[in-house]
Amino acid sequence: MLATADALARLLDAARQVEGRERVGTLDALNRVLAADVTSPLDVPPMHTSSMDGYAVRAADLAGASEGAPVALSVSQRIPAGHAAAPLAAGTAARIFTGATVPAGADTVVMQEMAQVLDDGRVAFAQTPAEGEWITRQGADIERDSVILPAGTRLTPQALGLAASVGCAQLDVVRQVRVAIFFTGDELRMPGEPLEPGAIYNSNRFTLRALLAKLGCAVTDLGIVPDRLDATRETLRRAAIDHDLILTCGGVSVGEEDHVKPAVEAEGRISMWQIAMKPGKPLAFGAVRRGDEGSEAFFIGLPGNPVSSFCTFLLFVRPFLLRLAGVTNVTPRVYPMRADFSQKKGDRRNEFLRARLNESGGLDLFANQSSAVLTSTVWGDGLIDNPPNHAISAGEIVRFIPFSELI
């Protein structure tokens, strides 16, 4: 069995960004991956702006102002955000609002709480402000011609906002990774169907489809395939034609009814099988031939137990798909956290334990770590990456990967 780090390295070494790009509206680009740098055509902000409601002034006009000797200035203009500003006349103040353009000639904004409106309409200032106070300078956030989002960036909501802030209505993105998915198991039923003795509902279909959607993939769901070698081979051939990755769930172990591995070997190749991890040992990686084209579609076979398929997807399929999509950094952040539990015996495999944060800043362990207990994935906040043969003592610092880094 391969160590988890070695297995992931093999997958990522094989992954290459898919060919093709498209131009999409920025509003519709969530979770897509940039195919080209986004360069700002302008400064942000494009002019000096006020960061407070108050008065734009020349600091020199308020020299010597104090509580005992305030300086009063007449108000020469009113500048709301989005309106043009006239140059500030010497010896006057401009009423200004947050986000409004600072008029030429002004070098300071005094917040309104530090000014007093007099009966004659003038404004009195009881202290000398520092030059540049409460002014956001042109280009303070973004300078013109600077790269604000490099190619390979996966577009988050805040990245879309950043692109919009420089006027980008459309973005060049890598085309969606095309994934065909199917499930094996004569015992599988869909919610809404009767559940005969020995049958179970296909929870993996819902979990994996949702995870693929979160990654922005174009998904073809080929449904549940009968536990037969001929049916599995035929589905693999069909899936290989127009897809970058074939993802299966179940049937990759060594039982008499596990047909996925021999089917892939007949239609292509298996280059990796079985990983020293718990849960999720029977994970397969390879490729399926595309008819007579001479090309291949990648293949990843996940185990059928729901926690095993969930964990192996997050730890292996997710970074592989991101690399296919052109994402440069696919490694989740790992946090050192305190274990508020003990586990007296480690496993010979690399364990990924479901745990959650408690109110004291430590981690609690879900009581049942079976690969069939899907409730642990909803209860938990993430996975503890526990090395092989390692017992955990209460108070020990462990490696924690939050689900927020993986989903």
Q: List helix spans (H) across 306-374.
A: 306-312, 318-324
Angle between helical axes of 229-240 and 260-267 (0-180°, round to 10):
50
Query: Would you give the distance in Å from CA 201 to the centre of its chain?
Result: 30
pLDDT for 291 beyond 90? no
Interatomic CA distance for residues 231 and 40, integer angstroms? 53
Catalogue all structural domains in the chain, each as residue range(s) with its CATH number: 4-19+176-324 (3.40.980.10), 21-44+151-174 (3.90.105.10), 49-136 (2.170.190.11), 335-405 (2.40.340.10)
Residues 36-59 pLDDT 10s: 999 999 999 999 999 999 999 999
Q: How confident is the model at residue 66 (pLDDT cuts 50, 70, 90)?
A: very high
145: left (phi over 0), alpha (psi -120 to 50) or beta: left
Interatomic CA distance for residues 247 and 258, integer angstroms? 15
pLDDT for 369 beyond 70? yes
> What proportion of the chain, given as a percentage, has pLDDT over 90?
93
Q: What is the mean predicted confidence (pLDDT) over 140-165?
A: 97
Q: What is the mean predicted confidence (pLDDT) over 325-331?
A: 94
DSSP 254: S
CA distances from 215 to 59, 152, 201, 317 (A): 53, 14, 24, 10
Q: Which has the closest alpha carbon to 35: 252, 327, 356, 340?
A: 327
Q: What is the mean predicted confidence (pLDDT) over 155-175?
A: 97
What's the pLDDT at 253? 60
What's the pLDDT at 1? 84
Interatomic CA distance for residues 380 and 364, integer angstroms? 9
Q: What is the mean predicted confidence (pLDDT) over 304-327?
A: 97
Q: Tokens 């296919």 — which residue?
A: 324
What's the pLDDT at 255? 53
Residues 351-368 pLDDT 10s: 999 999 999 999 999 999
Interatomic CA distance for residues 144 and 148, integer angstroms? 10
pLDDT for 289 beyond 70? yes
Q: How confident is the model at residue 232 (pLDDT cuts 50, 70, 90)?
A: very high
pTM of the model: 0.88
Q: What is the mean predicted confidence (pLDDT) over 65-91?
A: 96
Q: Percent helix, strand and coil across the chain, each rounded to 5?
A: 20, 30, 45
Residues 174-197 pLDDT 10s: 999 999 999 998 899 999 999 999
pLDDT for 170 beyond 90? yes
What's the pLDDT at 353? 98
Where is 268: in which H helix or E strand?
strand 268-273
Q: How confident is the model at residue 303 (pLDDT cuts 50, 70, 90)?
A: very high
Neighbours of 170 (CB within 10 A): 14
What's the pLDDT at 257? 56
What's the pLDDT at 147? 98
What's the pLDDT at 358? 98
